[in-house]
Chain A
Amino acid sequence: MSAAEPILPDIAAADASAAILVEKLNLWYGDFQALLDVDLRVRAGAITSLIGPSGCGKTTLLRSVNRINERLGYVRTTGGIRLWGLDVLDPMVELAQLRKQVGMIFQRPNPLPLSVRDNVLFGTRVHLPDGRPPNKAESDRIVEEALREVLLWDELKDSLDRRGTELSLEQQQKLCIARLLPVKPKLLLMDEPCSALDPAGTEAVEELIWKLRGDYTILIVTHNMAQARRASEECVFMLLGEIIEHSDTASMFLNPANSQTAAYVEGRYG
């Protein structure tokens, strides 16, 4: 399919409330089809959670949005993914720009083996948003803003030279979120962001995610149904590579339309 011949009609550009628009997405790992005709519309500025049993394709879907699946050479994709109306699968897309706009958080916090300050500034040094590395005063402001936004400033303002890898897991995960913010991403993808944390850390990071709602569109994969219920506005239930149900979180948990969804949210399998 050529770039001149858009896969989707250009309604997404006009539809400003859709941050992600996935249409007829099929994905194969070698011979195994992991996603089947997935259609999804993710509302801008909202927190949408992807739930479903292991192997249902939710992480695959997440990783398709910033195209990090492609790093595994044996992945094949058909269909379309649009972010704010722009085709992401177009071969002309510059992956560095895509990944600047789409930040990603992983299961296991992965701060870099650098100081807290250099972790936060890493993105600005890679992307040079002003065409040059920030000077001392700008760096200080960027670090403070990002750490304040993730509620770490008061804890870490006196230890900005500590290594990111020495912090507690909760602080590490917040630092990983802070690290994305200075290059002003529009979309944050989170792959089970709390599953390596203790209950207190989970609560703190969930609160943070809830606080970031509105400023960023957030797509979050979770195994934890209670978390989806607490910390998301819309919920997508997936099973065996297909989207079974997509509704606002309250109605998915109170009146699921589909019997498989009902069985899953009640904990009868998964």
Chain B
Amino acid sequence: MFEATARNRRNRKVEGLLRLLFLWMTCMLILPVALILGVLVVRGGPAISWEFLFTQPLDNMTAGGILPALVGTVWLVVVALIASVPVGVAAALYLSEYAPDNRLTRAINLAIINLAGVPSIVHALFGLGAFVIFFRFGTSILAASLTLAVMTLPVVIVATRESLQTVPLAFREACWNMGATRWQTIRKIVLPNAISGILTGVILEVSRTSGETAPIMFTGAAFFLPFLPQGVLDQTMAMSLHLFVISTQVPDVPEHMPFGVALVLISMVLAMNGLSIAFRVYLRGRKKW
């Protein structure tokens, strides 16, 4: 009565095969990551030294270090964050906490999705037209960062909105039913419980911003500029563009240098992602409901 039939046995075999197939596909995902990291560490590792990180490039960028690019990337990211986080968080608060479900809201949501889908080279041209020429910021950190900010705004908005939505509606209703305003509810209950997700979004934005090349190419990043920027209206070198330049535009660059630059760049991004994960784990541990 309870013995396996031929059909049961065949089902079991298919089940086992499918499980193996899916496992294999998943492993395929890890492969490129492991290969990229492995190649970068092996081939770029020897390039990394204090001198490489903290001196100017020399001999037409075929020797010396990457300090101006490293500092430039930090400038670009920080200014982009200052521009995009307040706008993005405010927009997400409006969409999540205030917006009625009407045509305007749907139009805004559509705009956000479309903004996320615009290719970065188009953002670059927009930044050139809007910030460099129309607002007369010139090719500068300000123009490049604002271009990056516009490009990453959807990331901040979507991450913030999603983390606001994870705060249960029951808490908001409890507040409203005690006569609290929307803002009192947001400040006392919603934001404190959504902050970990918002910070994760911000850190994701940092890692995305620091790697972008196209949007800064016409708007503020310089090919070669052996000085550190003094303010937001200066041009600057940047890691991503520097990598492009020494890989393809400059003859006779020793092979380990582009790999070294790529390794530093990817380490920055991974360090930021690691920080965001650690932070999220820490905050989740304190959150209970």
Interface residues of A (CB under 8 A from B): 66, 68, 71, 73, 95-100, 103-104, 106, 108, 110-114, 122-123, 125-127, 163, 165-166, 176, 179-180, 183
Contacts and interface: CB of A to CB of B under 8 A. Distances in A.
Given A113-B171, A113-B189, A126 B180 contact: yes
Nearest to B100: A73
A127 B177 CA distance: 12
A112 B181 contact: no
A244 B287 CA distance: 47
A110 B170 contact: yes
Given A113-B288, A122-B188, A66 B177 contact: yes
B193 interface: yes
B189 A123 contact: no
A99 B176 CA distance: 8
B170 A165 contact: no
Contact of A126 (B100, B178, B289): B178
**Majority-rule SS of A interface residues:** helix
Interface in B270-289: 287-289
Contacts of B173: 68, 106, 110
B179 A113 contact: no
B175 A112 contact: yes
Contacts of B184: 126
Nearest to B185: A126
B133 interface: no
B174 interface: yes
B171 A110 contact: yes
A257 B289 CA distance: 47
A122 B178 contact: yes
B179 A165 contact: no
Contacts of B174: 106, 110-112, 176
Interface residues of B, number: 19
A104 B179 contact: no
B179 A99 contact: yes
Given A122-B188, A125-B188, A165-B289, A113 B193 contact: yes
A26 to B, nearest CB: 24
7 contacts: A68-B177, A95-B179, A104-B177, A108-B170, A114-B189, A163-B288, A180-B178
B121 to A, nearest CB: 43
Contacts of B175: 112, 122, 126
Contacts of A179: 178
A107 B72 CA distance: 57
Contacts of B287: 113
B170 A123 contact: no
Contact of B179 (A71, A96, A108, A166): A96
Given A113-B193, A163-B288, A99 B177 contact: yes
Contacts of A125: 188
Given A110-B171, A112-B171, A112-B174, A126 B179 contact: yes
Contacts of A68: 173, 176-177
A174 B24 CA distance: 54
Given A122-B188, A126-B179, A166-B288, 10 more contacts: A99-B177, A99-B179, A110-B171, A112-B171, A112-B175, A122-B175, A123-B178, A165-B289, A176-B174, A183-B178
* Pairs of residues from A and B, 9 with the lowest C-beta to C-beta distance, nearest first: A99-B179, A96-B179, A110-B174, A165-B289, A126-B180, A110-B170, A100-B179, A104-B177, A113-B289
A216 B268 CA distance: 61
B95 to A, nearest CB: 17
A104 B180 CA distance: 13
A166 to B, nearest CB: 6
A121 to B, nearest CB: 11
B178 A99 contact: yes
Contacts of A71: 176
Contacts of B188: 112, 114, 122, 125
Contacts of A166: 288
Contacts of B176: 68, 71, 99
Contacts of A95: 179
A68 to B, nearest CB: 6
B27 to A, nearest CB: 40
Contacts of B288: 113, 163, 165-166
Contacts of A112: 171, 174-175, 188-189
Interface in B175-201: 175-181, 184, 188-189, 193
Contacts of A97: 179
Contacts of B193: 113
Contacts of A123: 178-179
A163 B188 CA distance: 14
Interface in B241-289: 287-289
A163 B287 CA distance: 10
Nearest to A164: B289
A123 B179 CA distance: 8
A179 B179 CA distance: 12
